[in-house]
Structure 1
Amino acid sequence: MKPISYFRLLYAPAFLLVAFFLFAACDKDDEPEITSLQLRNDPTLGSYMADSAGRTLYVFSRDVSGQSLCSGSCLTAWPVFYSGTLRLPKELNATDFATITRSDGSKQSTFKGWPLYYYDQDLAAGDVKGENVNNVWFVVNPDFKLMIARQGTDLYLTDMDGRTLYTFSPDGVNQSTCNGPCLANWPAFLAENFKMPSLLSSTDFQTITRSDGAKQLSYKGKPLYYFVNDSQRGDIKGKDVGNVWFLATP
């Protein structure tokens, strides 16, 4: 039988201890970052989302497709928000949050498909200085049912899931003339008791009763519709169809 090395006996416990801490450190690095979100209240904007430190979260109108179009100097002013695991208050639904991979390979958290950002000019908890910057940056209110999208020079309304909203030029003031096959292709949009970005005014919206007894939301007197051929968020296939269907523009 070979004799047991004295040095092996002496240093084995130390080796095992070092290995344990190295394993623990690696295991810790593999754990997803956990961030708590909270809902704060602003006297003007109402409820909005912030991280656990009170830093406000924003969405960018150009991200309507679900991918981030903010890069370079934009990203310097509007840093990405990302957390591997979110701890949410009871008012928020975990299914509304997801993670995307940006074009640079980094991760970003989303809410209802909208990538989330901070604003570098928000220096204190509760700051909302990024609201309505350039008419394309907005705080995230979980009660939003409408959002403002921008593609190229087009600024228009969508629902919170990024589906485009349209108006029909033959319609009268707060009166829909789209029925039958028209309505099958251009479903009426309805949202009630909702909040909206500060660029919009609640006085411009009204719930109307259609001739079939159904309800529909109008904007500045024009009933709002979807287009069935818009199969993905960000689609604007109904734009200028027949020269009578138009993007609902603020």
Structure 2
Amino acid sequence: MTTFLSRRFRLGAGAGFALLFGWLLTACSSSDDKPAQPTPDPTIKLATSATMGSFLTDKAGNTLYYFTRDVDGQNVCTGGCAAVWPIFYEADIQVGDGLQASDFKTQMTASGQPQTTYKGWPLYYYAPAVNGQNVREASGQTTGNGVGNVWYVVNPGYSVMVATKAVTDKTTNQASTKSFLIDGKGRTLYFFHKDDLNPNTLPTNCTGSCEALWPPFTTSGRVFPSLLKASDFGTITRTTAGGGGPYGDGTASTSQLTYKGKPLYYYTADNLTRGRVEGHGLVSEGDQWLVATP
């Protein structure tokens, strides 16, 4: 009897192990055989041009543009402008190499249409009039770049850009439309008239309390819209007390960017806010401050 029970136990245990082993093989096989999910095709990607470097396109290779008048972050291209520059909207953002999905958002235009933005800039196509009809440019074309000196391809690496808006002169209280330089985040850059009068002492024309109020603009980048020439930009080296705060690079020695020989500055009252212009026309630190016009 003992031998019979032992044989039954061994047979039962063997069958159990066989079932368990078969189940494990099946589970592993089904896991390994599961097809990998395909990577979605990018709906926004980068193209490259010898003259403009990298710039945004849609999934079909159609060029996307930014409007310098949208510096405050809102679409101001309406009426006839909207016919020539149709809005770009993509509900399913899938980015290609070199782009970050978090840089793209959706916002509504004044007319209630959704529009995709990139780093706060509304995006557009170009559709010039052809025989009385607005026809979007073909894939791969960039004929909209530079139109009116207010439309440009969107290069993710822009270190300085151009903005256009009504600017109030703080001395005369008169407003006029100006195009001026901004950093890559849309923040206004300024010239100091004292630098024109004393070009041989540029690093010391604005120091101490002046520098605290008008921090120098620093950047390692050299990518600009086509209106701006890289050869017009240079640097001066200045010594900062405390390292430049949130505007600078945190070092005691700062390479301040210059445009056509004029150093570029921020104004603290703009509060690092895109499109804000509180310093134009101010007389401060012994001379006048003006937006940096190209």
- TM-score (norm. length: structure 1): 0.82
**Counterpart amino acid of residue 246 in structure 1:** L
Instruction: Say which SS state the counterpart of residue 75 (structure 1) adopts.
Output: helix
Query: Which residue of the partner structure matches residue 291 of structure 2?
Result: 247
Instruction: Say which SS state the counterpart of residue 85 (structure 1) adopts.
Output: coil
Q: How far apart are the structure 1 equivalents of 2:230 and 2:222?
A: 9
Whether the aligned pair in 1 keeps the contact of 2:158 and 2:221 (CA below 8 Å) is no
Instruction: Say which SS state the counterpart of residue 198 (structure 1) adopts.
Output: coil
Instruction: Say which SS state the counterpart of residue 244 (structure 1) adopts.
Output: strand
Q: How far apart are the structure 1 equivalents of 2:234 and 2:222?
A: 12
Query: Which residue of the partner structure matches residue 224 of structure 1?
Result: 264
Whether the aligned pair in 1 keeps the contact of 2:191 and 2:292 (CA below 8 Å) is yes
Instruction: Say which SS state the counterpart of residue 234 (structure 2) adopts.
Output: strand
Mean Cα displacement is larger for which, 159-168 or 171-180? 171-180
Query: Which residue of the partner structure matches residue 57 of structure 1?
Result: 64
Q: How far apart are the structure 1 equivalents of 2:236 and 2:93?
A: 39
Does 2:155 align with 1:131?
no
Q: Deviations 1:145-187 (Å, cap 9, x if unpaired)?
A: 1110111320100012110000111124382311111111111
- Share of identical aligned residues, percent? 45
Query: Kindly tell me: are residues 230 and 146 of structure 1, through their superposed partners in 2, closer, same or farther at Cα, counting changes over 3 Å?
Result: same
Instruction: Say which SS state the counterpart of residue 100 (structure 1) adopts.
Output: strand
Does 2:156 align with 1:149?
no
Query: Which residue of the partner structure matches residue 6 of structure 1?
Result: none
Q: Deviations 1:69-117 (Å, cap 9, x if unpaired)?
A: 0011101000001112211123112222212211111111111111100
In the alignment, structure 1 segments of 5+ residues that lack a partner are 1-33
Q: How far apart are the structure 2 equivalents of 1:159 and 1:99?
A: 22
Query: Which residue of the partner structure matches residue 199 of structure 2?
Result: 173
Does 2:66 align with 1:66?
no
Instruction: Say which SS state the counterpart of residue 87 (structure 1) adopts.
Output: coil
Whether the aligned pair in 2 keeps the contact of 1:112 and 1:160 (CA below 8 Å) is no
Instruction: Say which SS state the counterpart of residue 134 (structure 1) adopts.
Output: helix
Superposition map of 1:88-107 within 5 A: 88-107=95-114
Larger Rg: 2
**Counterpart amino acid of residue 173 in structure 1:** P
Does 2:101 align with 1:77?
no
Does 2:177 align with 1:160?
no
- TM-score (norm. length: structure 2): 0.71
In structure 2, which of residues 269, 273, 277 is the aligned counterpart of residue 236 of structure 1?
A: 277
In the alignment, structure 2 segments of 5+ residues that lack a partner are 1-40, 129-135, 167-176, 241-252
Deviation at 1:124, TM superposition (A): 1.7
Query: Kindly tell me: are residues 73 and 35 of structure 1, through their superposed partners in 2, closer, same or farther at Cα, counting changes over 3 Å?
Result: farther
